[in-house]
Amino acid sequence: MIYKIISWFVFNPQSNTDLKTINRDRDLRNYQVFSNSRYLFFFGGRLRTLTNTKRFSIFTFIIILLPLILYLIFESSWLWHHVSPALVILFIYTWFLCFMNFLMAAATDPGILPKNIHITDDSRQLPIEYFNIISLPGYLKNNSVEIKYCNTCHIWRLPRTSHCATCNSCIMFHDHHCMWLDNCVGQRNYRYFLNFLIFACISVIYLIITSFYHLFKYDQFLPIREVMKHIPMTLFLAIYSCLAIMYPALLLTCQLFLTMNLMTTREYFHILNSSPNELKGNNFISKVWNTNSFNSKNIFTNLVIQFCRPRGLSLVRLQDRYINGDSRFENLNNDKDSDFGKYQI
């Protein structure tokens, strides 16, 4: 009973690779036998993080949590009594939205595809077509959509799907692997990622305005040295916020640019690497705008598609009961002995 409770709170399937063979009669869930992934699961497989990273997501969480604590201790009382309680409530609300979107972006399914679906009789001697990149007609003329076989996951990837070496999984609509989230950004959490950046910027701008307003009110009656003695944490929050706004604002600007072109970060860098000498001046914008096969050629439509389209169902239902022999959770890779591995992109 104690083991069941502990394993429900946190479970590492990599440390239990023989669990399904030793305890076949036990009522197992799919996340408990997902040993061919690199995830650490929490709360019965509802949340996850990676086991092979430097835990930058914890650092990100501290950066998010610190200003809230300082704000509630040192700033909220003054704003509540001297300005308006609504300012305090509004900041807590925006911070909560920022944190929840961070949690959903960092700890939920980014769009993992099931593994071991298109298995051959001998993975060491794959058919010749498995080594090729297949081009299909795209939405726009003269543009094509490429699909290829993933030797690690043993599946034919969907369009705009890429394999993440860090997560060891193929991710639908793979934008990039975010080290600050310890998770990939894909089809099922991209909207949370954008919302996290948006509300992070709103919260920091809110802190900048309220902190400098508080400093300005004190500065009217006291010299700057006295202000630093009386409200040092207000000054710290002002400086902290000015520094903290830079990276998320820059990242949000880049992501909004890609969103307006309905393009992923991987596709953007693929264009840059394919013809760097041609991307100068207006040619750069034209190349990015016209190359993407999925671009609707309307900025507003692209934004609506990106922000409002359904997340889609999770294709790997980790909370379902494990069925003995389910190949999706078997570790069939033998990359060291396979000749295909050296061709993997």
In tens, the pLDDT along 183-197 reads 999 999 999 999 999
CB 163 within 8 A of CB 150: yes
Q: For the chain, what percent of residues have pLDDT higher than 90? A: 39
The per-residue pLDDT for 123 is 60
Alpha helices in 142-245 (DSSP H): 190-219, 224-230, 232-244
CB 287 within 8 A of CB 275: yes
Count the domains in the chain.
1
Q: For the chain, what percent of residues have pLDDT higher than 70? A: 82
Q: pLDDT-based confidence at 20, cuts 50/70/90?
A: very low
Residue 18 has pLDDT above 60, yes or no: no
Query: At residue 146, what are phi and psi to the nearest 5 degrees?
Result: -105, 140
* DSSP secondary structure letter of residue 157: P
273 vs 177 pLDDT, higher one: 177
Q: pLDDT-based confidence at 309, cuts 50/70/90?
A: confident
Q: What is the pTM for the complete model shown?
A: 0.85
Residue with tokens 């998770």: 183
150, 167, 178, 184: which is the annotated catalytic residue?
A: 178
Residue with tokens 């993440």: 164
CB 147 within 8 A of CB 99: no
Tokens in use for 307?
Answer: 């922000």
The per-residue pLDDT for 42 is 92
CB 6 within 8 A of CB 44: no
Q: Alpha-carbon dihedral of residues 186, 191, 193, 196, nearest 10 degrees?
A: -170
Q: Provide mean pLDDT across the span 101-106.
A: 96
Q: Provide mean pLDDT across the span 131-151.
A: 72
Q: Provide mean pLDDT across the span 225-250.
A: 86
- Tell me, rounded to whole angstroms, the distance of Cα 308 from its chain centroid: 17
Among 13-17, 135-139, 287-291, which range has the highest average pLDDT? 287-291
Lowest-confidence region among 1-5, 39-43, 59-63: 1-5
The per-residue pLDDT for 335 is 44
The per-residue pLDDT for 21 is 44
The per-residue pLDDT for 220 is 60
**Boundaries of domain holding 40:** 2-343
Amino acid at 282: N
Q: Provide mean pLDDT across the span 291-296.
A: 80
- Whether 178 is catalytic is yes
81 vs 146 pLDDT, higher one: 81
**Gyration radius of the chain's alpha carbons:** 24
